[in-house]
Amino acid sequence: MELFQAVLLILVCWSLLVSAERSTYIVHMDKSFMPKAFSTHHYWYSYLLKSAARLHGDGSEPRLVHTYDNAFHGFSAVMSESEVSALKKSPGFLSAYPDDVVTLDTTHTYKFLSLNTATGLWPGSQYGKDVIIGVVDTGIWPESPSFNDDGMTEIPARWKGICQAGDQFNSSHCNKKLIGARYFNEGSRASNPDVNITMNSARDESGHGTHVASTAAGNYVDNVSFFGYAGGRARGVAPRARLAAYKVTGWETGSVESDVLAGIDQAVADGVDILSISLSYRRTNLYENPIAIAGFGAREKGILVSVSAGNRGPNAATLLEGIPWAVIVASGTVDRWFAGTLTLGNGITITGWTMFPARAVVRNLPVVYNETLSACSSSELLAEAPEQSIIICNITFESIDFSSVMSYLSQSNVRAAIIISEDTSILRSTDFPFLGVVITPSEAEAVVSYASSDNTPTASIDFQQTILGTEPRAAPALSASSSRGPGRNYRPILKPDIMAPGVLILAAYNPYSSEASIGRNIFLASDYTLLSGTSMACPHISGIAALLKAAHPEWSPAAIQSAMMTTANPRDNTNQPIKDMAFNYRLATPLGMGAGQVDPNRALDPGLVYDATVQDHVNLVCSMNFTSEQTRTIIRSSYNCSNPSSDLNYPSFMFQYETEENRTTTAQFKRTLTNVGNRAATYKVKVEEPKNATVIISPETLVFRKKYDKRSYSMTIRYTSISEIELETADGSLTWIEVNGKHTVRSPIVVYPRLDNDD
């Protein structure tokens, strides 16, 4: 009996221990059940947690971690199992489950793009094995671990390139991963003969080319992070592809077009399969643009050319490189948030933004809110703030920029700052030299209310946190800086073509470059850094193109481009239309994001492709009203202009209407689709018409009897202009849907006014 009682006592104690053990749970709630007595869902959730603790608590209250009010309604909290059981009886409760461990990987974008080792494009392409990517940029830092050749097979015999020796660079720096390196500065030196070049080699002093190359095809590297953010295992998009670096810019003497032409020309001769060009030039005429000219020659040789859209957004027609025979890449965000968790003394927790490069201690410090001081607009003003305090800086309505506020704070005796701002450019920068966290005006309401009403307000901030998923914002979103179409040098074809991750991408860099700072005089270096821009988006497409080339060596560059575009996703990770960061997260349009976010695994098996030959592109150039000399600058004398046509077999549609009042503009497009599926297939069309436009497709059904079978259709668009003043741009889509199959082949349609300077 005594033994039984002892065992029973142990079981009771064990049960109480298990009941009291706390874990983080994610709770889904139906917000419509929230009583009117609560002003916000945050207070409702807090009340429910306290009620659960009173019923089944162990004396220590559960702690609210996050509240959610966008993608779904609910919260996460640290609770015991018994408290979860009590919570389940609450009105509005939907579900609860333990918060699981997230394994972080870098660059995380491969996971965001759903590349995995089990199925899809990675195993289907053997990770891009033996495809050669030529990176035309600022050179390369060959010692970076991303360019080790572990696991690489012998260099393909077709490779004709070399590893060019120069300052601090010799042939031994190349290997089975980095198979070639060259540099081109003759044009630059000629234009500035009195300037001395201190690094006359392919070595990358700026780090830009190194970052691009490792993003496209870097090898596997463990334990990588940016000062504790974005930690994990690094790998490029095509980790088994080869790299060849062509340094054409980054010289003290400046960068000139002739060197770029030379670099691309040599890359074609060396035998690259993909050209990745994260550069742009101001020349708008295609026959003067070095990338357009050399890119045409590359396309002629079967090389896909991937080019960054530029970072001149968000205004319309800021895209300079509207090259019809290149893939033009826009920049979007990823589902990764670099967080500073702000915890107020009253228990409210807010996940803000920070990139302060250290694990700093900010615990239970006094919070100061003063409307005069909150501008944080000068060192003199901040001198009045109490020492060792956390000051609230509201720069939402101030003309002062974030970097200036950081500078003033760094000169003060304030310990940390809570910065209220709506400036989305902060979310693209790693410059965070002072302890602090950025929150939005809506999040700031609770902070200001607490700091104004409590006698002794305090707060703590935790740094170096990386959060993945749909919170606090859905992804991707179009980056505000990404250049928008239509393209300056050719408007009748939609540009950009596609969007890829380009905001705060972690990749290899010059290890002696200052990449972060603390205060005014502490500068930090890192082997890997986070950069933002279409320069970072472009190598993602270059890497995916390499994977597709490896999986489908018979596909032309046009087929690879079509596969990426027609399978791109116009929706974010909450299944809502992709938003634009630049305009308060309104809907993005194809003039910003092209066909949408690239989806590599769907591109592996697109069903149908819009193919185009070199002669098709010749016919396009011949239709551009150039002089014969200008035309030959691009197509050379190898081709003639016997059949000029502006209707290229392209995976998107641009329709220009006349702006005269009540004038109806009609245009017809003809397209041919090739079945790249493994069997016969039937497709039916679905059209989303742009506003005020009529779209007619003939025929509405396409029957493909075998693989590589071709079928053509026509599209007629009619649009009546309302007035010469109220001009508008609208968009829609055309999608071919496989009958009793899985394939959908989508093309964006854009309707926009023809302006005086349009082609």
**89: Cβ contacts below 8 Å, ≥ 6 apart:** none
Identify whether 259 is a catalytic site residue: no
Selecting among 308, 535, 562, 733, the annotated active-site residue is 535
Q: What does the alpha-carbon distance between residue 144 and residue 204 come to, in Å, rounded to a whole number?
A: 11
CA dist 17 → 81, 82, 468 (Å): 10, 11, 32
Distance CA 277, CA 538 (A): 7
Q: Could you tell me if 250 and 513 are in contact, meaning their C-beta atoms sit under 8 angstroms apart?
A: no
Tokens (6 digits) for 615: 């002669």
Q: What is the 3-state secondary structure (H, E, C) of 297-320?
A: HHHHCCCEEEEECCCCCCCCCCCC
Is 670 in contact with 619 (CB distance < 8 Å)?
A: no
Q: Which residues of 147-168 are buried (b: 16+ CB within 10 A; e: fewer)?
A: bbeeebeebeeebebebbebee
What single DSSP character describes residue 578?
A: P
Exposure of 477 by Cβ count < 10 A (0-12 exposed, 13-18 middle, 19+ buried)?
Answer: buried
Which residue has 């759903």 as its token pair? 114
How many angstroms from the chain centroid is the CA of residue 130? 26
For residue 107, say if its preceding peptide bond is cis, omega within 30 degrees of 0: yes
Q: Distance between CA 726 and CA 732 in Å, rounded? A: 20
- Specify the 3-state DSSP secondary structure of 33: helix
211 is a catalytic site residue: no
Cβ atoms 500, 327 nearer than 8 A: no
Look at the chain and count its residues: 759
Residue with tokens 């930690």: 231
Q: How many CA atoms lie within 13 A of 388 on its CB side?
A: 3
Q: Estimate to the nearest angstrom the gap between the alpha carbon of 434 and the chain centroid.
A: 26
Alpha-carbon gap, residue 481 to 108, rounded angstroms? 21
Which of these is catalytic: 105, 130, 137, 270? 137
Cis peptide before 557 (omega within 30 of 0): no
Q: Is 149 a catalytic residue?
A: no
Q: Out of 208, 540, 552, 743, which one is annotated catalytic?
A: 208
- Identify the DSSP state of 512: T
Separation CA 298–CA 272 (nearest Å): 9
Within 8 A by CB and 6+ apart from 80, the residues are 19, 20, 21, 22, 23, 56, 57, 58, 62
The edge-to-edge listing of strands for the beta sheet with 681-688 is 653-657, 744-753, 730-738, 681-688, 701-704
CB 328 within 8 A of CB 319: yes
Catalytic residues: 137, 208, 535
